[in-house]
Structure 1
Amino acid sequence: MTIKSRDNERFKLARLLLKSKYRNKEKKYIAEGLRTIELALEYGAKIEYVFIDRQFSKNSQIIERLEKNTKVFVLDDVLFKQITTTENSQGIIAIIEKNEIRIDDFNSEKHKRIVVLDRIQDPGNLGTIIRTADALGYNLIVLTKGCVDLYNPKVVRSAMGSMFYMDIACCEQEKALEILRNNNIQIISSYLETKNNFEDMKYSSKTAIVVGNEANGINEYWIENSDLLVKIPMFGKAESLNVAISTALLMNKIK
């Protein structure tokens, strides 16, 4: 089936999902790119339907595989360009149901390596942190209030499939702290003003790494409530590292 009208309900929903408030309302989001959508299928994400453009519609074998799992619609190229979020689109977009967990679903047997994100703003950074946490064997990512929307299309692309099965919860920082304290999780925060070199410290078998906003670092709440403040020493002239890079270094050490 080819969709040519901008009044089509599926197309109208996709356009709405470009905005965070409608992603929250509809409990759905957009994922773009063939590999991302293949991983969504592989990891059991609930794909409502897929749009492809005319060029992609020539890939009959891929389309046949997709149609075994979901509905596929050819979208008029003019309409497709209105919902793509990449400059060089591969011509395939999926509408996927959200699969968030609640922080109250915390599992002390499973969630022993945790990353808490304090007001991370850049979607590329968030997606990279999710992907890296997955690669390094972390079990839970917690986004506190003020972080970029988890389902921003750039976050979805940058996470490269990891968000389809990683446990990710969004909550207030006070609730996150309560859960961590109640489950005897060591809270380790990245903080430039401490003297504690992250490589010299001893860590518990159950840890939560807290990393902060790209411009301002962690807020006062986490400084006051952490069990340990650590920093990555700088040996060159750079004053700081990109938050995704520094988080990766900390995760690789504290695992």
Structure 2
Amino acid sequence: MSAADKTLTSIANPLVKEVLRLHGKQGRLETGLFLIEGRRELDIAAQRGVEIVRFLYNPEKCSFSVNLGQNFGEKIKVSNRVLERISYRGSTEGFIAVAKARQKDLRAFKLPASPLIVVLDKLEKPGNIGAILRTAAAAGIDAVLLSDTPGDLYNPNLIRASLGAIFSLPVFNVSANEALNWLNSHKIKIITASPYAKKTHFDYDFSASAALIIGSEADGVSEIWAKNAADSVLIPMSSAVDSLNASVSVAVLIYEALRQRRK
């Protein structure tokens, strides 16, 4: 039997252990590799030039036909038991792709005229961040900066929630100081979202270059952003609630900005 016909069946195999390491942040950071599960995410990653170094799949469960000509790196057939062991999700589409993380340099990023940037300040939940990236990509936001984010860009839950938008959108994980200096150097106006602002997002003119700073629901924006903001806006709400989920807030703000710009 040729190597191409062999099926990996042992969960004690070193390769299985290598893949399992990528379930954790430390393993991803140390190896520079991450996991992709889901056909849509895989397609977008491949279209955007993400390097797939290894593709593990179960022929009986894989949601599409795998051919040897596909640019999926090393292709390895695995048993259903192995697939279940290395899967991060509760259910899979019959494959796990191991991909190489790309180093993104904010200083080298070229901005268009009158850019609209979203800055996520200390947001922690990967699912929340992923949902925001999905919305930002749909709205055509020019870039998203993760400011002092404790997680990493390639958390499997973030990739899943973004539906692959992490691969199609310029996203940079930087410190608050780096983000602030970069925005100032490009003369991009900093606007915080705050429940204490005096003007609503309907009344603010988003036609010029702008960076929307979104803090966590519990703490709001950090002091560094509050001190350096040129302005702040609020999303009007009834007295029944006093805050919105961060991903909802981002959607409300950027689509109002988009409406104004199209007008």
Q: Structure 1 length as normaliser, TM-score?
A: 0.91
Which of 22, 39, 46 aligns to 2:27? It is 22
1:31 and 2:36 aligned: yes
Q: CA shift at 1:205, angstroms?
A: 2.2
Give 2:56's aligned residue: 51
How many angstroms apart in 2 are the aligned matches of 1:111 and 1:105? Answer: 18
Residue 77 of structure 1 and its aligned partner are, at CA, apart by 2.2
Deviations 1:199-253 (A, max 9, x none): 1012342111110123211111111111111110102512211100110111111
Letter in 1 for 2:45: A
Using the TM superposition, give the Cα deviation of residue 100 of structure 1 relative to its aligned residue in structure 2, in angstroms. Answer: 3.5
The 1:34/1:214 distance shift into structure 2, 3 A limit, reads: same
Please give the residue correspondences for 1:1-255 in structure 2 after superposition, counting only pairs within 5 Å. 1-53=6-58, 55-57=60-62, 62-64=65-67, 67-70=69-72, 71-109=74-112, 112-235=115-238, 237-255=240-258
- List gaps (5 residues or longer) in structure 1: none
Distance in 2 separating the partners of 1:110 and 1:28:
34
Could you say what secondary structure the match of 2:134 adopts? helix
In 2, the alpha carbon distance for the partners of 1:84 and 1:128 equals: 21
Contact 2:130 2:161 in 1 (8 A): yes
- Aligned letter for 2:50? A
Give the secondary structure class of the aligned counterpart of 1:48.
strand
Percent identical among aligned pairs is: 28
Three-state SS of the structure 2 residue aligned to 1:62 is: coil
8 Å contact kept, 2:147–2:174: yes
Q: Distance in 1 between matches of 2:113 and 2:35?
A: 29
Tell me by how many angstroms 1:73 deviates.
1.6
Structure 1 distance, partners of 2:98, 2:55, is 6
The CA distance in 1 between the partners of 2:218 and 2:78, in whole Å, is 40
- What is the DSSP-based 3-state SS (H/G/I as helix, E as strand, rest coil) of the residue aligned with 2:172? strand
Q: Does 72-81 or 230-239 show the bigger shift?
A: 72-81
Q: Calculate the TM-score normalised by the size of structure 2.
A: 0.89
Per-residue deviation, residues 177-214 of structure 1 (Å, max 9, x unmatched) = 00100100011111112222111012342111110123
Contact 2:121/2:221, CA 8 A, preserved across alignment: yes
Structure 1 position 89, deviation (Å): 2.0
After the TM superposition, which parts of structure 1 deviate over 6 Å for at least 4 consecutive aligned residues? none
Change (3 A) 1:123 1:220: same
Q: Secondary structure at the match of 1:49?
A: strand
Q: Report if the CA contact (8 A) 1:110-1:139 is conserved.
A: no
